[in-house]
Amino acid sequence: MPVPPAAPSVPVVDRPYRASVVALGKIGLPLAVQIAAAGHTVVGVDIDPRIVELVNAGRVPFPGEAGLEEALREVVAAGRLRATTDAADAVPGTQLVIAVPPLVVDDQGVPDWRAIDAVVEAIGPHLTDGVCFSLETTVPVGTTRERIAPRLEELSGLELGVELNVAFSPERVFSGRIFADLANYPKLVGGVTLACERRTAQLYREFLTADVREMGSAEAAELTKLVETTYREVNIALANEFARYADRAGIDLGPVIEAANSQPFSHVHRPGVAVGGHCIPVYPRFYLQGDPDAQLVAAARVVNETMPEHAIDLLARDIELAGARVLILGAAYRGGVRETAFSGVFPLVTGLRARGAEPFVVDPLYDDDALATLGLPAWDGAPVSGAILQADHAEYRNLLPTQVPGATSVIDGRGTLDAQALGNAGIRVRRIGGG
Ligand SMILES: NC(=O)c1ccc[n+]([C@@H]2O[C@H](COP(=O)([O-])OP(=O)(O)OC[C@H]3O[C@@H](n4cnc5c(N)ncnc54)[C@H](O)[C@@H]3O)[C@@H](O)[C@H]2O)c1
């Protein structure tokens, strides 16, 4: 990886400066607001005119982000944030361009580059001398140097590392508490050259109070995000292996993990019916693209993908599956979010059907039409023989017998169920890893 031998001196930045944030989604919009709230002037870019219109009216396009509504209203009213669909209107003359478009993947985790490429093509011709471009979308190692930087250099006509600075800075926040996370987690910046890194990091320091850490290369910053997420996938897989053993051996794993973790070197995660969402099932596959021989990472995915079947096996201990009506509680990949990417609901439906059962799905965040759109069989409300809790929605924490009429067995796939009411009604409750 070619990097200049000596780190350049700390660059001088204009205060306040002009910035542009491209893709005003759940991550990009709070980031744009954070920069504007620190006193800089921000023009946001999004291809969706509805989002642009709402942002310009000071209204949030999506619910659930703590503090965003008030902060957005304030920065828009102060004239420090506006939005546009046109990169030519936003990018020229800006010192910092941050892009965080989505990177969609297929069911094998293979990226569809269209959104990222479209951003590069749209902004490249409008970058001006001295600009710092930072990609925040999680990507396979090498993407910033090999895919992004050469094309930006070509489109802008600027010399990389001299007139054009390109860096990667992984987005590490959690939707819903982004401002708190931006304040608390170190911001990691890795440049295509050390000069790119220094200059870009300096601009981040102008709107963040958290430590801004220079990683030495774009690849180190890209890898850090993949390491964080792959660690979680492998750790959950380990907990899942322990759970499968505990269920065979008749040992309750819950207190075992709690006790093991009371010693500071042990950080075992919790077992569960499935690892879903846009991040944890996907980013280890990005890691494997760079390191295809990584056996542990590949094995973790395989182990985690067996867990829906394990939940079905636990149910089969109590009821005859052939011909049984089985209710799956939760279509979402986890509680409280309306998102089904890589959700365990899909393998549960397929797995139950393969055993001759008739699965039904219910979720407080999805009506029957929304479930049908996802290809999921909505529950008709008639009695069932058993149920599997797939998403830890708050509505299921104190599950009542009336929510699973007729069931004689319920599998708690998330370890979050208060089993008392069901137990009092004579319903058998089994937790994954519960022994
Ligand atoms: N949401 C999270 O909790 C989370 C967690 C980890 C990582 N991420 C990262 O952030 C990225 C973005 O996630 P998000 O949740 O903000 O997505 P999102 O779906 O909320 O928003 C994406 C936005 O990008 C816009 N967009 C798409 N193509 C564009 C283009 N060519 N030009 C301009 N705008 C375009 C869309 O209109 C939309 O407003 C993810 O791919 C991921 O790498 C998000």
pLDDT at position 175, please? 85
pLDDT digits (tens, 9 = 90+) for 328-356: 999 999 998 889 999 999 999 999 999 99
Report the separation in Å between the CA atom of 353 and the middle of ligand 1, taken as the mean of its atom positions: 35
Q: Which residues, judged by CB distance below 6 Å to any ligand atom, belong to the binding site of ligand 1? A: 22-28, 45-48, 51, 100-103, 115, 118-119, 137-138, 171, 174-175, 279
Q: What is the residue with the minimal CA distance to atom 28 of ligand 1?
A: 115
Report which protein residue has its CA nearest ligand 1's atom 42. 137
* Dihedral-angle region of residue 48 (phi above 0 means left; psi in -120 to 50 means alpha; beta otherwise): beta
**In the chain, which residues fall in CATH 3.40.50.720?**
18-216, 218-435
Q: What is the pTM of this model?
A: 0.93
At 54, list the tokens.
């709402």
**Mean pLDDT per 10-residue section of the chain, whose length is 435 residues:** 51 84 97 98 98 98 93 98 98 98 90 97 98 98 98 98 98 93 97 98 97 98 98 98 98 98 97 96 96 97 97 98 98 93 97 98 97 98 98 96 98 95 96 97
Cα(137) to centroid of ligand 1, in Å?
A: 8
Per-residue model confidence (pLDDT) at position 5: 47
Give me 401's structure tokens: 């017998």
User: Which residue's structure tokens are 């008030």?
Assistant: 70
Ligand 1 center–CA 414 separation, angstroms: 28
Q: Does CATH number 3.40.50.300 belong to domain 18-216?
A: no
Dist. CA 281–CA 402, nearest whole Å: 34
- Considering the domain delimited by 218-435, tell me its CATH architecture: 3-Layer(aba) Sandwich (3.40)
Please, are residues 72 and 81 in contact by the beta-carbon 8 Å criterion?
yes
- Residue 276 has phi, psi (to 5 degrees) of -120, -170
d(CA 255, CA 167): 44
Mutate to test the pocket of ligand 1, among 20, 22, 24, 27 (most ligand atoms within 8 A of CB): 27
- Alpha carbon distance 302, 29 (integer Å): 35
Ligand 1 atom nearest to 114, measured from its CA = 31
pLDDT per position as a tens digit, 275-315: 999 999 999 999 999 999 999 999 999 999 999 999 999 99
Mutate to test the pocket of ligand 1, among 91, 171, 178, 337 (most ligand atoms within 8 A of CB): 171
